[in-house]
Amino acid sequence: MCGSFLARVVKRLIMATVTIRDVAREAGVSTATVSYVLNNSGRVSEQTRQRVLEAARRLGYRANITARNLQARETRLLGYTWRPTPPDQFNPVLDQFLNAIAQAAAHHDYRVLTFPSETIEEELATYEDMVLSSRVDGFILSNTNLDDPRVRKLSQKGFPFVAFGRANPEWDFPWVDIDGRWGVRKAVEHLIERGHERIACLAWPEDSLTGAYRLQGYVEAMKLAGLPVDAAWIARTENKHDDAYETTRRLLELPAARRPTAIMASSDLMAMGAMNAAHDMGVEVGRELALVGFDDAPVARYLRPPLSSLRQPIAEVGERLIVMLVDLCQGRPVSQQHVLLKPQLIIRASSDFRF
């Protein structure tokens, strides 16, 4: 048994040292011809191609991908970092996004190298290290914001990157984003069509660019319908269940003439906090209070009542970003640098009733 094991080890070592020169000698062709066949480039007759492939099989030749990538000055790796989700929260968009970019990258013969970063300083230091060491060919950013230091740094370095999200309007870099303004406007119009006039918005803090777009959609829908917006109805809160819970309680404690009959939440997590607050106050969501979230998390359909929400086309976001980044890494022009995709309003029982 020991001898058999050693024989297998020796065989693998021999196979690992086989080069294209050995294959060329075995097939009776030049090394250039072997390279053409193995890389599927150049004109080679089918007979010669088969002879080279057969020789490679006989010798057990395996291409040294690392060496080939180094020679081509590429790693076929794309870097992506994110903030870890606290244990008491969930981030369905992140899960979907990671899956989308990983699948899209694999389709283009790339892999995604992921690394979490607790702070922006840690993330910037990681970018610096990876650029200097040439460990990735490009980066994917997400959760971008105004004056985003990551966008500024990578733009200044001229290193390939794309972003899921926008930043300063005057900054020209490739991005794909969701039109939250359009989506929230459609959701609020849906609530207005169901007879609601006192509609509140659980908005993100003022320093959130994505939150600003979503809030803008709410204000536009109310203005277009000729409905007044009570200052108390725009309730800013962190994207956390407990914060949304407490904020919703305050909204529902307003006097009857000011109390909202519908709430537009900037995320499903916030909508769940609002739903639980209403339940604890004896207010029935789906009959006395309408509620719409944003993200259409998988759990949304299983809530009681099922939650209306805006579904983001994350798979398309991932595919478009990877195509952009691969083009940049390969030195090809990006056909469309800025892509704004519309979310889909999924109407369920939490808002689908006539008030």
> Is there a domain that residue 296 lies in?
yes
Measured in degrees and rounded to the nearest 5, phi and psi for residue 321 equal -65, -45
Residues 203 and 321 in one domain: no
- What percent of the chain is predicted at pLDDT more than 70? 91
Instruction: Please tell me the predicted confidence (pLDDT) of residue 87.
Output: 80
Same domain, 305 and 322: no
281 and 321 both lie in a single domain: no
Query: In whole angstroms, what is the distance from residue 198 CA to residue 107 CA?
Result: 48
Domain for residue 306, yes or no?
yes
Is 265 found in the same domain as 329?
no
Number of folded domains that form the chain: 3
Q: Which residues lie across from 179 on neighbouring strands?
A: none
Quick one: which of 94, 88, 18 has its CA closest to 56?
18
- State residue 348's pLDDT score: 98
> Within this chain, do residues 88 and 168 fall inside the same structural domain, yes or no?
yes
User: Averaged over 323-347, what is the pLDDT?
Assistant: 95
User: What is the pLDDT at residue 11?
Assistant: 46
In this prediction, residue 65 carries a pLDDT of 46
pTM of the model: 0.79
Q: Is residue 332 part of a domain?
A: yes
Last-in-domain residue among 294, 312, 330: 312
Q: Is residue 349 part of a domain?
A: no
> Are 187 and 302 in the same domain?
yes
Omega of the bond prior to 305 within 30 degrees of 0, cis?
yes
C-alpha–C-alpha distance, residues 99 and 92, integer Å: 11
Alpha carbon distances (Å) from 77 to 95, 253, 317: 20, 53, 19
| Ranges 47-51, 85-89, 196-200, 347-351: which has the least confidence | 85-89
The CA-based diameter of the chain, rounded to the nearest angstrom, is 91
The alpha carbon of residue 122 and the mean position of all alpha carbons in its chain are separated, in whole angstroms, by: 20
What is the residue range of 213's domain?
180-312
On whether both 281 and 328 belong to a single domain, the answer is: no
Report the chain's mean pLDDT, rounded to a whole number.
Answer: 89
Residues 6+ apart with CB under 8 A from 139: 78, 79, 80, 127, 130, 154, 159, 160, 161, 162
Q: Grade residue 39 by pLDDT with cuts at 50, 70 and 90.
A: low
The better pLDDT of the pair 287, 14 is held by 287
Asked whether the beta carbons of 148 and 167 are under 8 A apart, the reply is yes
Is there a domain that residue 52 lies in? yes
Decide if 291 contacts 308 (C-beta within 8 A): yes
| Neighbour-count burial of 236, counting CB atoms closer than 10 A to its CB (0-12 exposed, 13-18 middle, 19+ buried) | middle
Same domain, 124 and 38: no
| Token pair for 104 | 């899209």
| Predicted confidence (pLDDT) at residue 347 exceeds the cutoff of 80 | yes
User: Would 214 be classed as within a structural domain?
Assistant: yes
Q: Measuring CA to CA, which residue among 42, 44, 39, 40 is closest to residue 72? A: 39
Domain end call among 35, 63, 91? 63
Is 6 in the same domain as 93? no
Final residue belonging to a domain, choices 63, 87, 110:
63
Q: What is the CATH number of the domain that holds 52?
A: 1.10.260.40
Q: Is residue 241 part of a domain?
A: yes
Q: What is the CATH number of the domain that holds 262?
A: 3.40.50.2300
Indicate if 124 and 32 belong to the same structural domain. no
